[in-house]
Structure 1
Amino acid sequence: MSEIRTVTGKAQGARRKAARPPLWLTVLSLTAFVLLIALGVWQIERRAWKLALIDRVEQRVHAPAQPIPSPAVWPAVSTANDEYRHVSVAGRFLHDRETLVQAVTEEGPGYWVLTPLQRNDGTQVLVNRGFVPSERRDASTRRDGNPDGQVAITGLLRMTEPKGGFLRNNVPQHNRWYSRDIAAIAAARGLENVAPFFIDADAGSQSGPGPIGGLTVVRFPNNHLIYALTWFALAFMLAGKLFVTFGGGLFRRKRFVHEPDGGSDAVARRTGSDAGTIVEQT
Structure 2
Amino acid sequence: MNETGTANHGTNGTRGKTARPPLWLTVLALAAFAALIALGVWQIERRTWKLALIDRVEQRVHATAQPIPSPAAWPAVSTANDEYRHVTVTGRFLHDRETLVQAVTEEGAGYWVLTPLRRDDGTLVLINRGFVPSERRDASTRQDSNPQGQVDITGLLRMTEPKGGFLRTNDPVHDRWYSRDVAAIAAARGLHGVAPFFIDADAAPRTGSGPIGGLTVISFPNNHLIYALTWFALAFMLAGKLFVTFGGGLFRRRRFVHEPAGGSDATARRTGSDAGTIEPT
The 3 A distance-change label for structure 1 pair 271 and 29 is closer
1:185: which partner in 2? Answer: 185
1:244: which partner in 2? Answer: 244
Give the secondary structure class of the aligned counterpart of 1:130: strand
**What amino acid maps onto 1:210 in structure 2?**
G
Deviation at 1:254, TM superposition (A): 2.6
The 3 A distance-change label for structure 1 pair 272 and 83 is closer
How many residue pairs get matched?
Answer: 269
2:52: which partner in 1? Answer: 52
> For the residues of structure 1 that align with 2:205 and 2:57, how far apart are their CA atoms?
21
Give the secondary structure class of the aligned counterpart of 1:235: helix
Contact 1:201–1:214 at 8 Å: present in 2 too?
yes
> For the residues of structure 1 that align with 2:269 and 2:43, how far apart are their CA atoms?
64
> For the residues of structure 2 that align with 1:198 and 1:64, how far apart are their CA atoms?
18
Cα-to-partner distance string for 1:236-272 (whole Å, 9 max, x where unaligned): 00000000000110111235799xxxxxxxx942499
TM-score where L is the length of structure 2: 0.89
Contact 2:60–2:85 at 8 Å: present in 1 too?
yes
> For the residues of structure 2 that align with 1:205 and 1:100, how far apart are their CA atoms?
21
Contact 2:62–2:86 at 8 Å: present in 1 too?
yes
> For the residues of structure 2 that align with 1:23 and 1:278, how far apart are their CA atoms?
29
Contact 2:141–2:209 at 8 Å: present in 1 too?
no
> For the residues of structure 2 that align with 1:172 and 1:8, how far apart are their CA atoms?
80
Contact 1:154–1:205 at 8 Å: present in 2 too?
no
- Where do residues 201-216 of structure 1 align in structure 2 (5 Å cutoff)? 201-204=201-204, 206-216=206-216
Give the secondary structure class of the aligned counterpart of 2:89: strand
Q: Is 1:87 the counterpart of 2:92 in the alignment?
A: no
> For the residues of structure 2 that align with 1:61 and 1:207, how far apart are their CA atoms?
25
**What amino acid maps onto 2:280 in structure 1?**
Q
2:169: which partner in 1? Answer: 169
1:233: which partner in 2? Answer: 233
Give the secondary structure class of the aligned counterpart of 2:111: strand
Deviation at 1:11, TM superposition (A): 2.5
Segments of structure 2 that go 5 or more residues without pairing to the other structure are 259-264
Identity of aligned residues (%): 79
> For the residues of structure 2 that align with 1:205 and 1:239, how far apart are their CA atoms?
62
Deviation at 1:278, TM superposition (A): 8.2
Cα-to-partner distance string for 1:78-106 (whole Å, 9 max, x where unaligned): 00000000000111110100000000001
2:194: which partner in 1? Answer: 194
2:123: which partner in 1? Answer: 123
1:253: which partner in 2? Answer: 253
* Equivalent of residue 267 in structure 2, options 266, 269, 282: 269
Segments of structure 1 that go 5 or more residues without pairing to the other structure are 259-266
1:22: which partner in 2? Answer: 22
1:146: which partner in 2? Answer: 146
> For the residues of structure 1 that align with 2:103 and 2:227, how far apart are their CA atoms?
31
Report the RMSD for the aligned CA atoms in angstroms: 2.6
Contact 1:205–1:213 at 8 Å: present in 2 too?
no
* Equivalent of residue 10 in structure 1, options 9, 13, 26: 13
**What amino acid maps onto 2:134 in structure 1?**
S
TM-score where L is the length of structure 1: 0.88
